[in-house]
Amino acid sequence: MEELLSVKYDVVSGDFIRGGEASSNLKKLLNQLGVRSDIVKRICVACYEAEMNIVIHSVGGYIEAKIYNDKIEITAYDYGPGIPNIELAMQEGYSTASDVAREMGFGGGMGLPNIKRSSDEFYIKSEVGKFTEIKIIIYFN
């Protein structure tokens, strides 16, 4: 399938003021492309949770979205510290978020489960001290 468009946004660690801007920009773009609003909402929830995960948990990273005729592929990549136990991190209610993140309304241990629930396909890999990469695919129909 031919790729129509690709966008990439840097995400800065600990920046709760700008955190969410990448997802906001992606939402604007998807609306301009005429993607169905219920699909846009699922994409935005997944992208926003992934973006805030990078803000809250990592040393920084990026969000890359590739848009095709029938789907979007989003990669959320950060440069560490990595997740020691992915199975545990995927459990609803499990969180290692800081007090600052909790004050901002996050840290309920719902981030990764929300991303998975919003996606048609979800992949996660991580290496402690190196990286975490989440890839999701959401189909437009």
Partner 1 sequence: MKLSRIKELISAEILCNEEMLSMETVCAFGSDLMSDVLALTCKDTILITGLTNIQTIRTAEMLDIKCIIFVRNKRPDETIVELAKEKGICILATRHTMFTTCGILYSNGLKGVDKD
- Where does this chain bind partner 1 (CB under 8 A)? 16-17, 19-20, 23-24, 27, 37, 41, 44-45, 48-49, 52, 103-111, 113-114, 117
In terms of CB distance, is 67 or 97 closer to partner 1? 97
Q: C-beta of 120: minimal distance to partner 1 in Å?
A: 15
Residues 60, 109 contacting (CB under 8 angstroms): no
Q: Is there a cis peptide before residue 113, judged by omega within 30 degrees of 0?
A: no
Q: How far is the CB of 43 from partner 1 (least distance, A)?
A: 9
Q: Which is nearer to partner 1, 34 or 105 (CB)?
A: 105
Two tokens, residue 70: 């029938």
Q: Which is nearer to partner 1, 105 or 129 (CB)?
A: 105
Contacts for 40-46: CB closer than 8 Å, 24+ residues apart = 42/118, 42/119, 42/138, 43/72, 43/74, 43/118, 43/138, 45/114, 45/115, 45/118, 46/74, 46/114, 46/115, 46/118, 46/119, 46/136, 46/138
Q: How near is the Cβ of 21 to partner 1 at its closest, in Å?
A: 8
Smaller CB separation from partner 1, 80 or 109: 109
Q: How far is the CB of 22 from partner 1 (least distance, A)?
A: 11
Nearer to partner 1, 23 or 58 (CB): 23
> How near is the Cβ of 108 to partner 1 at its closest, in Å?
4
